[in-house]
């Protein structure tokens, strides 16, 4: 009997805690929505803006990776040229 009562109390406390957290989350979403409306940005537009920023970041990362690849290729080419120069110098002597 005591076990059932304590289990019921624990379940009631968990349900109350979850309801309280959902209520706080709802209030947060309401205030966020109001802030977005005051700045004349709809939630959908804000989501689109975030998606656009992520796409720009991905494009920048891709560009940097391409530059890094070209840089590595140039370094490798310069090393090969230096090696060929030293081989040609060695053959002359």
Same-domain pairing of 75 and 47: yes
Whether 35 and 76 share a structural domain? no
- Domains held by the chain: number: 2
pLDDT band at 65 (very low <50, low <70, confident <90, very high): very high
Is residue 10 very low, low, confident or very high in pLDDT (cuts 50, 70, 90)? confident
pLDDT at 56: 92
Q: What percent of the chain lies above the pLDDT cut of 90?
A: 32
Distances from the Cα of 68 to the Cαs of 65, 71, 73, 82, in angstroms? 5, 5, 9, 21
Same domain as 54, residue 26? no
Residue-range definition of the domain harbouring residue 2: 1-40
Residues 23 and 54 in one domain: no
Residue 72 vs residue 38, higher pLDDT = 72
Lookup result for tokens 């890094």: 68
Q: Is the pLDDT of residue 45 over 80?
A: no
pTM over 0.85: no
**89 and 72 within one domain:** yes
The answer on pLDDT for 43 being more than 70 is no
- The verdict on 62 and 17 lying in the same domain is no
């Amino acid at each position: 009997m005591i076990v059932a009562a304590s289990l019921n109390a624990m379940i009631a406390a968990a349900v109350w805690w979850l309801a309280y957290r959902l209520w706080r989350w709802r209030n947060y979403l309401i205030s966020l929505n109001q802030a977005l409306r005051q700045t004349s940005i709809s939630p959908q537009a804000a989501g689109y803006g975030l998606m656009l920023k992520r796409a720009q970041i991905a494009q920048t990362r891709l560009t940097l990776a391409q530059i890094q690849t070209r840089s590595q290729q140039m370094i490798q080419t310069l090393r090969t040229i230096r090696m060929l120069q030293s081989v040609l110098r060695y053959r002359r002597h």
